[in-house]
Structure formats: C-alpha cells, structure tokens
Amino acid sequence: MGEFAATAWRLFWREDLALLVVGAGALALVLARWLKKGRRALPNTLLFLAAALAAELVGAALAAAGASRAGEMVRAVAAVATGLAVIRLAGLALFRVAMPAVGMALPRIAEELALLGAYLGWAMLHLRLWGTDLGSLVTTSAVITAIVAFAMQDTLGNVLGGLFLEFDRSIAKGDWIRLDDLGGRVKEITWRHTAIRTRNGETVIVPNSVLMKSRFAVIGNPESAPVRWRRWIWFEVDLEVPAPRVLAAARQALAGAEIANVAADPEPDCVLMETANGRGRYALRYWLADPQSDDATDSAVRVHLLAALARAGIRPSLPKEVRYEVADSPERRAALRERDLEKRVAALRRVDLFAPLAEPELRALAAQLVEAPFAAGDVVTRQGAVAHWLYLLVEGEAEVLVESPPAAPRPVATLGPGSVFGEMGLMTGEPRRATVRAKTDLECYRLDKAGFEQILHARPELAEAMSHILAARAAQLARSAERAVDETDAEATPQTLLGRIRAFFGLSGAQTRRAA
C-alpha cells in the first residue's frame, strides 16, 4: 500500500504541475486582495481548479494500479482543465486588476475573446504534446470544419457583431438606445449578446447579430455628455381658434416653468403640423434631459399645456363623432350659474381688499372673475412686468420671490387659499413688485381693471379705504424683502397710493371728497 501511494504521488506531483499550482495560488492571493468587479468568478474558478487537481490524482492512482491507458487519458484531460483554470485566474488578474490599475479599460468582449484564444492555444498545445498532427487534422477534417462552421454561423455572427459594436463605438455601456419598440440602457456587451435594461426594470438580451442587422437609435449617454432627447406632445384644436393664439399659449405653457427633466436649452417650441377635418394638429416639442423619466415628464408637460390652454380660453378639439346628450333646461342653467356665482362671491369675501364692498357690489364683481388655472412650476406673475389685473388664489400654494440680479431669486413668502396678489397692478397700474410661482397646481380667479372700474366709479370713496389696505400689504412685502423702512414710506403711503389709484382710474379728488 505504501509503495502504491508513493508511485501515485510521484506520477501526480510533477514539476510542471507544481509550477501551475504555485502560480495559481499567487494569482488567487492577488485577486482576493484587489479584485473588485466579478468577485464571484474567483471561488468558481478555484473550485474548478480543485476538481481538475483531484482528477489528476485519480489518473495517477489508476496508472499506479496498472490501468496505464485509462490513467493517462484521465491525467491528460485533467491537465487541460488545470491549465484552463490557471489561464482564467491569469485573465482575471490581467484584465480586471492590472489594466484598470494603470488606467486601461478594455471592453468585456475583448477579455472574453482573449481568454477564448488562450484556451484554444492551450488545448492545441496538449494535442501536439499527445502526438497529434494538427496540420493533418485540419486537412482531413475540412468537411467537419465546414459543417461546424455552418452550424455555428449564428454564434460567429454574434461574436463578430459584438466586436464591431465595441471597436467602431456604435454603442457603449451606459448608452440609452431604442430598437423598434424596445427602449432602454445598455447594461453590458458580451461576445454573444447585448443586455439592455428597460425602464420597466427588465433586462432584455439581444443577440449581437440582430443589432448588426437592424436599425437602432442612440439617444445618448449621461455619463459622457448631457442627454438631449426631443419629445413630441401632440394635441388638436378646432380651426376656429387662430393658430397664432394656440402657438403662443402652448409656448407659454413651458416658458419660465420649472419642470423636472425638461432642458432649458434648446428652448421648447410649438408647431402646427397639419390641418384636417376642421382641426389643427399641433406638436409641443421639448428636450428631455433624463430618458429614464420620459413618460412622467411627458405627463407633466401635458398638465402645463392643458392649464395654459385653459387660461387662454382654448379647449382641445374633440372627435367630431362624439355627441353629448345632456338633460338641460333654463332652470338648470340658472341654478348652475347661481352656484358658480356663490362660489366666486365666497372667494371674494375672504379678501380684505374687497371688505368695503357691499353685497350687490361683490356679486357684480364676482361676475367679472375669469378662471385662471396654473400647473406646478408655472410663473404666474413676473417681477417688473406690467399687467392690470390681480389673481385670487382659491386652491393650492404659490411662492413669492424677489429678484435682485445678479443674485438668484429669493423666496420671501408662501401664499395659500384666500390670498390675493397683483393688486398693485390692478389698482395703480405699476409694474409687478415680485415674482409669483406656483408651488402646486393652482386654481385661481383673475380680475381685470375693466371689471373693477365700473364699481370704483360708482363709489369713488372706496379708493381711500383700499389705499390703506394696499399700503399695509406693500409694507409687509417690503419687510419680507428686507427693504429700508424710509424707502417703503416714500413709495407706498396711503396718500401716495390714493393719488395713483385716482390717476389710474380717472377719479378726481373732488369726486372722492364729495362721496365721502
């Protein structure tokens, strides 16, 4: 038994095998310390190496027991497997440790093809050592080679496709691409396939040969340069509405609005694409900065578009075949109007500016209110703009910002339901003192100068009461904006504001004194 074990060990522990094992151990230590990506490959390769060494020992035992031919066959196969394991460890150390350490990063497919070539070279070397004539093997197996090549043409196509994709840089890892109805980000390019991660969280495996034969669009790679992907939002409006009015309202939908993932440069635009069946087909086009959020951003843009069209009094076109059947009557219409009027009157009662008004005056003023919805991020009023109307906030939140270039706009207040802003523009005609931007979707009413002028001319004494309210509001805004007290007194005293109101509405001082 002792002689058998000694013979088996002598046949097993050869000098070349000792070198392979020592080399494999050194590589394993290096990889265990510095390998970062693909760490699962190390234990798998070591397990394969252990199995190959065990096979070598089994072959040596068979040879020592007298089964020389069987032992040699097992040992030959095990020697090839051992070499393959060592080549794999060397490849991991070279491509995933040494080259990244010096700033060289080859594509995954280059690593795989280099290892494949090394595997084939190692196998051919052993065939040569076993006495096989490689030249005669290739010559006499031309038919077999042709059959194998024909059977593996798809695999060869995938390999060549992967090489071309990598070396001509058609696509790269991290690129957003679109292939027919498939869209996603390139996760990995291997020798056989390209893995694409979709927005739904799926990883789709596309053979490289399919990519080489198909047309695909490369949207961009946010890791190398900012992505700009133009998106089209389609909508239709009846031709009864002038096209310039529709285009202006659509452009206003995104002008100054802060919408996540909508690029400011290039600027969004709107175009009239076609006219048919009494409708104009428009496209609001914007540039998306993050392809991951395409649907969500499209939805946000549509919300802003619909709000802007509603503010302009434009309704999107409906299919002509749609018919409405509503049970209607004069009584029902009158009840709906009265309900809407009461809602507007209730909103006016919450505003201190209109506290001096009597009930009939409130109802008359409520009839002049115009619905004005805004989407979150919309700029409702801009500092320095001249607009002779005010907004009554019914629902939602808005923030007041004071601009002092070159510094960024500074928020100074938050407005909630029942707030009113733009009153200085309505009462005195002066430019906006601050910018108001929607923090959430807003439901507002707008009151123009013409709607208030008739009431003020009927009761000129209201001008004095409102001048005191405006002065208090101006002082509050000035304190929020950290302006000087003496500047506030000089610009927004009740007497000064009363004079501006009279001049703006054409009221004489005698009128207000007689009315008082």
167-171, 201-205, 378-382, 495-499: least confidently modelled range: 167-171
Burial (CB count <10 Å: 0-12, 13-18, 19+), residue 497: buried
Q: Is the pLDDT of residue 3 over 80?
A: no
Contacts of 294 by beta carbon, 8 Å cutoff, 6+ apart: 199, 229, 231, 288
pLDDT at res. 288: 94
Mean pLDDT across the stretch 59-84? 80
Instruction: Show the tokens assigned to 19.
Output: 């070198």
Give the orientation angle of helix 15-34 with respect to helix 41-64, to 10 degrees.
Answer: 160
Does residue 272 have a pLDDT over 80? yes
Mention every residue, 6+ apart, whose C-beta is less than 8 A from residue 396.
Answer: 374, 417, 438, 439, 440, 441, 442, 443
pTM: predicted TM-score of the whole model, two decimal places? 0.62
Given this model, what pLDDT does residue 387 score? 83
Task: Please tell me the predicted confidence (pLDDT) of residue 463.
Answer: 81
The H-or-E segment that residue 283 falls in is strand 279-288
pLDDT number for residue 139: 54
| In the block, residue with structure tokens 């290892």 | 115
| pLDDT level of residue 164 (50, 70, 90 thresholds) | low
Q: For the chain, first and last CA: distance in Å?
A: 129
Neighbours of 375 (CB within 10 A): 24
To 10 degrees, what angle do helices 330-349 and 359-366 make? 110
- Residue whose pair of structure tokens reads 């993050």 in the numeric block: 290
Phi, psi for residue 406 in degrees, rounded to 5: -85, 5
DSSP string, 395-457: ES-EEEEE--TTSPPEEEEEE-TT-EE-HHHHHH-PPPSSEEEESS-BEEEEEEHHHHHHHHH
Residue 383 phi/psi, 5-degree rounding, is -55, 130
Whole-angstrom Cα distance, residue 294 to residue 170?
23
Model pLDDT, residue 296: 93
Q: How confident is the model at residue 295 (pLDDT cuts 50, 70, 90)?
A: very high
What are the pLDDT digits (tens) for 412-455? Answer: 889 998 888 888 888 888 888 889 999 999 999 998 888 778 87
**DSSP summary character for residue 102:** T
Mean pLDDT, to the nearest integer, of 62-81?
Answer: 79
Question: Would you call 367 helix, strand, or coil by DSSP?
Answer: coil
Mean pLDDT of 4-29: 78
Distance CA 409, CA 379 (A): 13
Q: Of the ranges 160-174, 298-312, 394-408, which one carries the lowest mean pLDDT score? A: 160-174
Q: Are 436 and 421 in contact (CB under 8 A)?
A: yes
Token pair 């690129």 in the structure block, residue: 175
- Residue by residue, DSSP assigns 369-390 as -EE--B-TT-EEE-TT---SEE
- Residue 151's pLDDT is 47
Cα–chain-centroid distance for residue 221?
A: 13
171-193 mean pLDDT:
86
Q: Where are the beta strands (DSSP E) in 111-267?
A: 176-179, 182-189, 193-198, 203-207, 217-220, 229-238
What is the distance between the alpha carbons of residues 85 and 55, in angstroms, rounded to a whole number? 13
Mean pLDDT over 466-487 rounds to 64
Give the confidence band of 7 by pLDDT, cuts at 50, 70, 90.
Answer: confident
pLDDT value, residue 489: 40
Mean pLDDT of 352-361: 83
* Spatial separation of the C-alpha atoms in residues 78 and 82, rounded to whole Å: 6
Angle 386-391-392 (CA atoms, 0-180°, nearest 5)? 165
Average pLDDT (341-366) is: 86
Four-CA torsion 281, 286, 287, 289, nearest 10 degrees: -120
What percent of the chain lies above the pLDDT cut of 70?
A: 83
Q: Residue 300: helix, strand or coil by DSSP?
A: helix
Task: Write the pLDDT tens digit of every residue in 125-141.
Answer: 766 666 555 555 455 55
For residue 186, pLDDT beyond 80: yes
SS3 344: helix
Whether 216 contacts 178, CB under 8 Å? yes
Q: What percent of the chain has pLDDT over 90?
A: 22
For the range 177-181, what are the long-range contacts, defined as Cβ-Cβ under 8 Å and sequence gap of 24 or more? 177/216, 177/217, 177/218, 177/219, 178/216, 178/217, 178/219, 179/206, 179/211, 179/214, 179/216, 179/217, 180/214
Report the chain's mean pLDDT, rounded to a whole number. Answer: 81
Range of lowest pLDDT (170-174, 291-295, 362-366): 170-174
Q: Who has greater pLDDT, 300 or 408?
A: 300
How many degrees, rounded to 5, is the angle at CA 442 between CA 436 and CA 448?
65
Helix (H, G, I), strand (E, B) or coil at 220: strand
Give me the count of residues in the chain: 516
pLDDT (0 to 100) of residue 160: 64
Q: Is 508 a residue whose pLDDT tops 80? A: no
